[in-house]
Amino acid sequence: MHKLLASFFVLFLTSLPAWSQPLQVRSPNGLLTVTLTNDGGELLYNVTRFGQPLLNASRLGLRLNDGISLADELTISGFDTRSVDETWEQVWGEKRFVRNHFNELRVTLDTQDETPRRLTVVFRVFDDGFGFRYEVPAQAHLGAFHILDELSEFALPEDPTAWWIGAYQWNRYEYLYEESALSAAADTLHTPLTMETKNGLFLSIHEAALNDYASMTLARQDDNVLKADLVPWSDGVKVRTASPMVSPWRTVQIADNAGDLITSYLILNLNEPNRLADTSWIEPGKYIGIWWEMHLGLATWGSGPTHGATTEKTRRYIDFAAAHGFDGVLVEGWNVGWDGDWIKNGGKFQFTTPYPGFDIDALSQYALDKGTRLIGHHETAGNVMNYEAQMEDAFAYYQARGVRAVKTGYVAFGRQIERLDEQGAIQRETHHGQFMVEHFQRVVDAAARHQIMINAHEPIKPTGLRRTYPNMMTREAARGQEYNSPQGGGNGPAHTVVLPFTRLLAGPMDFTPGIFQLEAADDEPENHVPTTLAGQLALYVTLYSPLHMAADLPRNYDEQPDAFQFILDVPTNWQDTEVLHAEIGDYLTVVRKDWDSDDWYLGSATDEEGRLLRAPLHFLDPGLPYVADVYHDTAIANWETNPLGFARTRVLVDQTTTLTLRLAPGGGAAIRFRPASAEERSDAALPRCNERQRCDADFRPVTQ
Amino acid sequence: MHKLLASFFVLFLTSLPAWSQPLQVRSPNGLLTVTLTNDGGELLYNVTRFGQPLLNASRLGLRLNDGISLADELTISGFDTRSVDETWEQVWGEKRFVRNHFNELRVTLDTQDETPRRLTVVFRVFDDGFGFRYEVPAQAHLGAFHILDELSEFALPEDPTAWWIGAYQWNRYEYLYEESALSAAADTLHTPLTMETKNGLFLSIHEAALNDYASMTLARQDDNVLKADLVPWSDGVKVRTASPMVSPWRTVQIADNAGDLITSYLILNLNEPNRLADTSWIEPGKYIGIWWEMHLGLATWGSGPTHGATTEKTRRYIDFAAAHGFDGVLVEGWNVGWDGDWIKNGGKFQFTTPYPGFDIDALSQYALDKGTRLIGHHETAGNVMNYEAQMEDAFAYYQARGVRAVKTGYVAFGRQIERLDEQGAIQRETHHGQFMVEHFQRVVDAAARHQIMINAHEPIKPTGLRRTYPNMMTREAARGQEYNSPQGGGNGPAHTVVLPFTRLLAGPMDFTPGIFQLEAADDEPENHVPTTLAGQLALYVTLYSPLHMAADLPRNYDEQPDAFQFILDVPTNWQDTEVLHAEIGDYLTVVRKDWDSDDWYLGSATDEEGRLLRAPLHFLDPGLPYVADVYHDTAIANWETNPLGFARTRVLVDQTTTLTLRLAPGGGAAIRFRPASAEERSDAALPRCNERQRCDADFRPVTQ
């Protein structure tokens, strides 16, 4: 242990309990150092990287009810250190084997009054960032308690550029990210909050393992200090809890280029391992659904002549899914409750009562017979009391019909969540406070009991709980494709090259890509999906989700079979992920290796600027020729004027190839790489860009 | 030709000479389009890329003496188009074979008055940018003439970020680059002017083939318009010339990432081919010299007890050069003229008269006998009349003594250049007007007659003339290492990661890297070389120059033999160049392949921020194991506090390896890759990072 101490920790502690000297813990590579200090009884930490300030002295601690402070006049009663280097396997994911490599410092602190209370602060320092959390152990003088304030700060030494959305807005996380100086951002910000320093260092602040606690937003203080701002209960209390308690981890991911944020697994590493004994029923996959047509105004959720969820239409969707190998068919609006002002009257959803025109028993069996499944839908309109009363039955109902995945929804248009308090009175809670954090977990737990995967819309943000509860597959918690519908207001081309560096650092997103009808309607020239056709395909790789929708209508896929093939081929479960190009808000190229084969897939996307990007294929296996099936923009493609300027080209490549990706304004590129067959290797008609070749965007060798 | 037209040009011209329709020319890849229009008699061009505005309508034309306008009320009398795709070989360079691939539009325009004058405007559009120039053909009504103004504009559609130095400052180009919005830059700016748009597109404006013309600066107009501002003669005339005349090319290089600017050869392509019949005597190389000790205050240029240029000391330098294989020894201060206020009295330099204590005949022979050479020095103090009177003799004097390279100097501390006009009166000209442009060319021509290579300090900026006159090797024209001397004021760590994206886009620079004595003196804590030891080594690769100095004192190299080995190994002539990482002002990684072997070299440098950068070695030959000799910062290196935190590690790698570069604050990394010998391949003691391995900064395999 002395050797470990010498290697990983620098402990200047000289005497207990005076604690006048700092405690330090370093990252495994020695470059990141967290120092805890006690400044006149205040508990502070600061962080350096390469010996330079990354965070200035930042407060730690909790303030409880009854004037109890776990923040001031604390004395140290002990500390522990340990070092972990392990590699664990995901049940599913964007990377199969994840290395968890950190040094930990655990400091036990006691108040100095007559009824001493104890707080433990734990720091884990990784090469790619750090996390800390509070633990309140079981103790004599602290049983049940309320947290009135968490003091955690992140004191940035300068004013960085931030990509941010403001917290406490009526539409939760569903806003476009703004890019500005942090000092010009809203007063309170959602996490993940991603920032770039003036010297080009990237930071992202978030939290891991948010459970039984309020979610954290960040309040801007003076001098670039961000302070934890916990979303309160309706009475102002932040957290209702009791010892023993652990808080979520407060996380700071750090990277020299933005792409390294995407391949940081720090948040997953700070979650607990899988708790589900049987995961055989959890399967990533792709689905279609009766959904986009409602956004197009071609059908309604509610009953009547335009009702989308009819038996006949669902049967056609099942046929289409079965013909093309989709894993499921989502049907929204099949259960009673959608008529009238369903958002206002949201209490009325009946989760096990189909509309008369929807023969769920026949359809679920039809789907199973054809080798696919229905995907369930639980719209709650934010009426959690109504939902929780039916939830167990609702999941059992689906399970009995072979349903394996359920999309949940909490559309509330700003209305808060009603709950009954202990006195039977109705209290109105926010969507992001402790009450809803716990509700969302109850849903995941109930779903697991019925072998059902959750795809949560209008949910709490992800914090890596998918590791612990791997039926928590994917979610919304951001502005998805639906905003690109004719009345949606639009996301613009840059949004999908901001999301991977912000919201998606927290976890997968059900963005619902794959819209092929891209040309603007005559009466809505400003409202259309802001990418080219190849750009839609790229999203299946750039935006990670274990469940991905092919969101457009089957007839639109029938019209573009060449492009559709990529959606059919692309997996949603990956052995490995690597980022080739990354500029936040500008462009992104990601490559991922299929979990189940030797195929690699590339997705590259840009904002409204066209790009030529060189992509060396160093990730491929050496010595092996691959066929690259390239789905790409033409030279005159443009999301506004020519979104269908699309071509598909096959070319023989290998690990020594450098391809040139031509991304049109609002465009993209999608590539499947698969080992070439013997016939393909000797097929002289197949264009070649192998053997150290660099090729231009039209796959012609670049001479010298 | 019809096919060519269809492919490369879009010509809407319908009738001559009315010219109411635009003329267009596209880049070979079709993505860049230049359109010429005639707006009420004004000649304009605009540029789109991917169909989006890159430059708005921008003026073209010249205003001459006697009220002659080659800008207004022009009619088109003809046009020509052609397409060129050729690959040419450099005599020496950063890339041996250069592809020259463009489409050209040549438009002939005539004034409409009674004595018509003719102007030809030529555009060449490449995939990586474009250039245009004016040609005034021989004609009846225009013989000798003066250019009073060149109207060329570059009308940016928005306010980009610019890295700039102001023009018309007393110290020429020797300033630190500032980064700001273009709108916040100085009124007049030097070129190359490099900019980044809000969408992350990079542009750099410069000129190519500056000969017999005034050099161009850029004046900021309203609305982000930059206008050519030619440096005038003392009487205000911009250019004195006669038909036939061609202007320099005005160039705009365009790249999706900053590294692609570095590997753009557009400026070389717009220069004329080599005009020297015999180039056998032109050889890139490395040199040492009696120079840095003067900057350290340890010796003087002038005579007396501290005189640097003594026979004995020079002999010791020759011994050191010969022992280590340097190609030359520069000696400054050996010739009469350095005593007293030599800058003020600059007329007095005698270029063929050594000080008594400097036995140039014996020393030059001693150097030749030992297999090296003296490197000559011509300090002029800006007294061009004195220099030109002696120039031919001065070069002959060196040639007779085996000297092959001469460093020239024009230190003038703001004084302008005196010349005699036709009436015998003294006129004072700027360093960057036509008079000095022509003077610098006279020097290159005279040197060539004596088989001498030029390394010009305080010169005109490079514009690619090295292609045409390959004895014009390298130059200063920027703030070099000398500013890091104790009284130099310092460059700061960021300067060398700005230079490659700005000044060095124009051509090589004699930065004089390789200072090993890096710790600050006690009495000058703020003034020291702003890199680590590995950071100094990286400059030999990141800053391209065919002549590179090992600038420190021999005794400082003797103390660091491990680090010195890189300077001994690194070539100064390259088959190929590739950029791995590039963020202007933040960091840069360049790899280059030796002209004469299969070795590759990597240089990586950062500003004051430490970095971890992943470097896939895809540029190496596949299947071949290499020994990587890595010169790197330790984990606790820091340019301010621990600049000698340095280590050298050898590791076996191959094309499938990904190394992690750890760059300390102000640090760097330098690597030589050479094919491994059979013994090395089987040497189990040699650390391995090959066979698809990704290694950390300490060369340990990263498990998953």
Q: Which residue of B has its CA nearest to A633?
A: B50
Q: DSSP label at A554?
A: H
CA distances B65 to A237, A379, B116, B241, B244, Å, are 82, 79, 15, 11, 16
Q: How far is B252 from chain A (nearest CA, A)?
A: 17
Burial class from Cβ neighbours inside 10 Å (0-12, 13-18, 19+) for residue A702 reads middle
Question: What local confidence, expressed as pLDDT, does residue A704 receive?
Answer: 52
Burial degree of A426 (CB within 10 A; 0-12, 13-18, 19+): exposed
In the DSSP assignment, the letter for residue B284 is: -
Å between A76 CA and nearest CA of chain B: 30
CB contact under 8 A, A622 and B51: no
Inform me whether the pLDDT recorded for A8 exceeds 70.
Answer: no
Q: Looking at this protein, which amino acid is placed at residue B234?
A: S
Min Cα separation A98/chain B (Å): 7
pLDDT (mean) for A474-501: 96
Question: Which pLDDT value is given to residue B22?
Answer: 84
Q: Residues A89, A93, A97, CA angle at the centre, nearest 5°?
A: 30
Report the residue from A200, A260, A665 with minimal CB separation from B51: A665
Cα separation of B537 and B565, whole Å? 10
User: Among residues 95-114 of chain A, which lie with CB inside 8 Å of chain B?
Assistant: 95, 97-99
Q: Are B534 and B632 in contact (CB under 8 A)?
A: yes
CA gyration radius, chain A:
26
- Dist. CA B221–CA B202, nearest whole Å: 20
- Pick from B451, B467, B569, B538: which is nearest to B508 by CA? B467
Bridge partners of B549, per DSSP, are B287
Helix (H, G, I), strand (E, B) or coil at B564: helix
Residue in B87, B200, B616 closest to A704 by CB: B87
Beta bridge partners of B663: B611
Q: Tell me how crowded residue B348 is: count the other CB atoms within 10 A of its CB.
A: 14
pLDDT of the residue at A20: 57
- B15-23 long-range CB contacts below 8 Å, 24 or more apart? B16/B76, B16/B77, B16/B78, B17/B75, B17/B76, B17/B77, B17/B110, B18/B75, B19/B75, B19/B76, B23/B76, B23/B79, B23/B105, B23/B107
Specify whether the CB–CB gap between B208 and B249 falls below 8 A.
yes
**Residue A344, pLDDT score:** 83
Minimal CA separation from A556 to chain B, in Å: 27
Distance from CA of A584 to the nearest CA of B (A): 10
pLDDT of residue B487: 86
Q: Any chain A CB within 8 A of the CB of B692?
A: yes
Task: Kindly tell me if the per-residue pLDDT of A3 is higher than 50.
Answer: no
Instruction: Give residue A635's pLDDT.
Output: 96
Catalytic residues of B: 482
User: pLDDT digit string (tens) for A78-129?
Assistant: 999 999 999 999 999 999 999 999 999 999 999 988 999 999 999 999 999 9
Range 305-364 of B in CB contact (< 8 A) with A: none
What pLDDT, on the 0 to 100 scale, is given for residue B3? 39
B residues 588-647 near A, CB within 8 Å?
607-614, 616-618, 621-623, 635-636, 638, 641
pLDDT in tens, A234-246: 999 999 999 999 9
CA distance B177 to A388: 63
Q: Are strands A69-70 and B688-689 parallel, antiparallel or unpaired?
A: unpaired
Our CA dihedral for B276, B281, B282, B284, rounded to 10 degrees, sits at 170
Asked whether B470 and B154 are in contact (CB, 8 A), the reply is no
Give the percent of chain A with pLDDT over 70: 96
Q: For residue B320, what are the β-bridge partners?
A: none
Which residues of chain B lie closer than 8 angstroms to A697, CB-CB?
29
pLDDT digits (tens, 9 = 90+) for B101-153: 999 999 999 998 899 999 999 999 999 999 999 999 999 999 999 999 999 99
B656 → closest Cβ in A95, A608, A622: A622
Give residue-wise pLDDT tens across range B552-566: 999 999 999 999 999
| pLDDT above 90: percentage of residues in chain A | 91
**Best residue in A256, A633, A655 to probe B by mutation, most B CBs within 10 Å?**
A256
The answer to whether A697 contacts chain B (CB < 8 Å) is yes
Closest chain B residue to the Cα of A99, Cα to Cα: B704
**What does the pLDDT read at residue B15?**
39
Over the Cα atoms of chain B, what is R_g? 26
Q: Is A344 exposed, middle or buried (0-12, 13-18, 19+ CB in 10 A)?
A: exposed
- Assess B658–A contact: CB distance below 8 Å, yes or no: yes
Q: What is the mean pLDDT of chain A?
A: 95
Nearest to A560 by CA among A641, A642, A648, A651: A648
Contacts of A664 in chain B (CB under 8 A): 50
**Mutate which: A24, A32, A50, vs B, most B CBs within 10 A:** A50
For residue range A297-340, list pLDDT tens digits in order.
999 999 999 999 999 999 999 999 999 999 999 999 999 999 99
pLDDT score recorded for residue B320: 98
Are the Cβ atoms of A51 and B622 closer than 8 angstroms? no
**Residue A211, token pair as written in the block:** 């459970």
| Phi, psi torsion values for A521, nearest 5 degrees | -70, 150
Name chain B contacts of A591, Cβ cutoff 8 Å.
none
Q: How far is residue B471's CA from residue B479's CA, in Å, rounded to a whole number?
A: 23
Residues of chain A contacting B696 with CB distance shorter than 8 Å: 29
SS3 of A564, please? Answer: helix
**Which residues in chain B show pLDDT less than 50?**
1-8, 10, 12-18
Per-residue tokens: A667: 């465009």
Using alpha carbons, list the distances in angstroms from residue B245 to B146, B239, B327. 11, 11, 40
CA gap A163, A499 in Å, rounded: 10
A256 near B CB under 8 A: yes
Q: CB–CB of B51 and A692 under 8 A?
A: no
Q: Write down the pLDDT at residue A19.
A: 54
Task: Give residue-wise pLDDT tens across range B35-92.
Answer: 999 877 789 999 999 999 999 999 999 999 999 999 998 999 899 999 999 999 999 9
CA distance B702 to chain A (A): 9
CB contact under 8 A, B622 and A622: yes
